[in-house]
Chain A
Amino acid sequence: MKQELICIVCPSGCRITVEDGQVTDNGCKRGEVYALKEVTNPTRVLTTTVRLTGAEPVRLPVKTERDIPKGLLFSAMRQLDAVTVAAPVRRGDVVLRDVCGTGVSVIACRDVG
């Protein structure tokens, strides 16, 4: 089966073709990895915010350290809804380990306090 994808690895947005496990029209190696994953087990990096106490901004921006299965995005959002972080926080601090059993950590994206 021939599938045409728009690569989301970087803003270039290459139009990639996947046919029987063969990837063509990809601009880079990362595009090939993305395309194969997209037709088998699509994943995304989740970015959102969690509650923050003890500092001026009330939300702390966070992200999954790596991409997680696309189907788990909403479960991850629910799990993160229960997380509250107290300032000070540094970029890269882990705010939640092993989100939805993926083994992936959710980390802070901003220094606060």
Chain B
Amino acid sequence: MRNVTIIGAGPAGLAAAIAARDAGAHVLLLERAKELGGILNQCIHNGFGLYRFREELTGPEYAGRFIDGLHDIDIRTDTMVLEISSGSVTAVNPKDGLFTVTSDAVILAMGCRERTRGAIGVPGDRPAGVFTAGAAQRYMNIEGLRIGKRAVILGSGDIGLIMARRMTLEGAEVAACVELMPYSSGLNRNIVQCLHDFDIPLYLSHTVTRIIGRSRLEAVEVAEVGPDRKPVPGTEFRIDCDTLLLSVGLIPENELTRAAGIAIDPHTNGPVVYDDMETTQKGVYACGNVVQVHDLVDFVSDEGERAGRAAASGQPEGAYTEVQPGSGVGYVVPQRIRHEGAEDTVTLFFRVRKPCRKGSLVVYDGEREVLRKKRLYMTPGEMEKLPISRELASTAETLTVTMEEDT
């Protein structure tokens, strides 16, 4: 029986644990928090699981479906992993102290974290009242705290949009949602049901240029940005608020991965993976937001299951074809497709760089076009999926995925 150690019990780790156990492995699941489910616990809104369960579940309900299936799995919560190296995982928790486990496979499922004010460099004062949207979500939904009375949201990513609605329902006023880009990076449905429903104005091509306040936030200065995304002088205006939520992107949490010497893709900031989710280090797999920031949890679970199955069976090494992003495409996962594998079809996941009403996804082998699929409405906020046959991939030198807009 193969031993599989999984780091992280969010949606990716939970799905990986169940799949690995079902494939006959002995599974050890390590989770830093006191409870299983990861970020799903604070995502109390619905819309999860539509593809997987044909239902619109809330985050806690979606997590619950997986937690129910965790029998015959060794689970340690409140456990922080400190290091992974060649099959060994060193972790610490209040009960076992410092311990090291050696297993046949390790699955990285640490998820991602939010970009902060420091990452985007907003000038101004440093008062209380500036939160990342996810931190605010946790204070509100898990700890039952009121975070402010009048808020501005910077960034129109899904978490920011969801928090706009959440704060409004809880009696706060959301003065504006401000987005640097000329389009929202959130799902369309969230623009409708979180902003339009409550008449919250969305300022596209705008950003926060100054944070104003002594002890508590008093106002933010907002300005229009030009095509170079730099503030246009003279367009500044002030919005009084006591709360600023930042929804300005997520970064895969790969400190452990980097320290282990596993190759990181500069496009995703996640590990380079094969189509079975193995990283460049044999026996170490990765899945979920640690690999690429997903839009829908359903696909996180799918990825977790793929990693879980592969880790349990220990896929053989072999020749592979590299996959890379080309014009109009930000990144592609997996970065490598093995010539031999369990499935005949491999799905490529990626995001386009800008919105496109009508266009095509085109895959090249060098200069030669090998696959073309028409698409309506592509947007960077939504992950694109493109199935490709393993046979086609295995005969190619290097695959380049591009997006072409119809003119």
Contact = CB atoms under 8 A, between A and B. Distances in A.
A and B co-occur in one complex: yes
A77 B197 contact: no
Contacts of B192: 5-6, 8
Interface in B19-52: 34, 41, 44-47, 50
B64 A91 contact: yes
Interface string B294-307: 01100000000000
A68 B85 CA distance: 53
Interface of A: 5-11, 13, 15, 44-49, 51, 56-59, 61, 63, 70, 73-74, 77, 91, 109-111
Nearest to A80: B169
A77 B169 contact: yes
Contacts of A110: 41, 60-61, 64
A45 B189 CA distance: 13
Name the residue among A47, A58, A91 with the largest chain B CB count within 10 angstroms: A47
Given A47-B44, A61-B59, 9 more contacts: A6-B189, A11-B382, A44-B197, A47-B46, A58-B144, A59-B141, A59-B142, A61-B58, A91-B61
B327 interface: no
Interface residue tally on B, bucketed by range: 20 to 34
B345 interface: no
Contact of B169 (A7, A8, A73): A73
A6 B61 CA distance: 26
A58 to B, nearest CB: 5
Given A73-B169, A91-B61, A7 B44 contact: no
A32 B275 CA distance: 37
Contacts of A13: 187-189, 382
A110 B44 CA distance: 10
Leading 9 A-B pairs by shortest Cβ distance = A13-B188, A110-B60, A8-B189, A61-B44, A59-B144, A109-B58, A109-B60, A6-B188, A10-B50
B228 interface: no
Contacts of B296: 11
A43 B265 CA distance: 43
A58 B61 CA distance: 17
Interface string B137-152: 0000111100000000
Contacts of B64: 91, 109-111
A10 B49 CA distance: 10
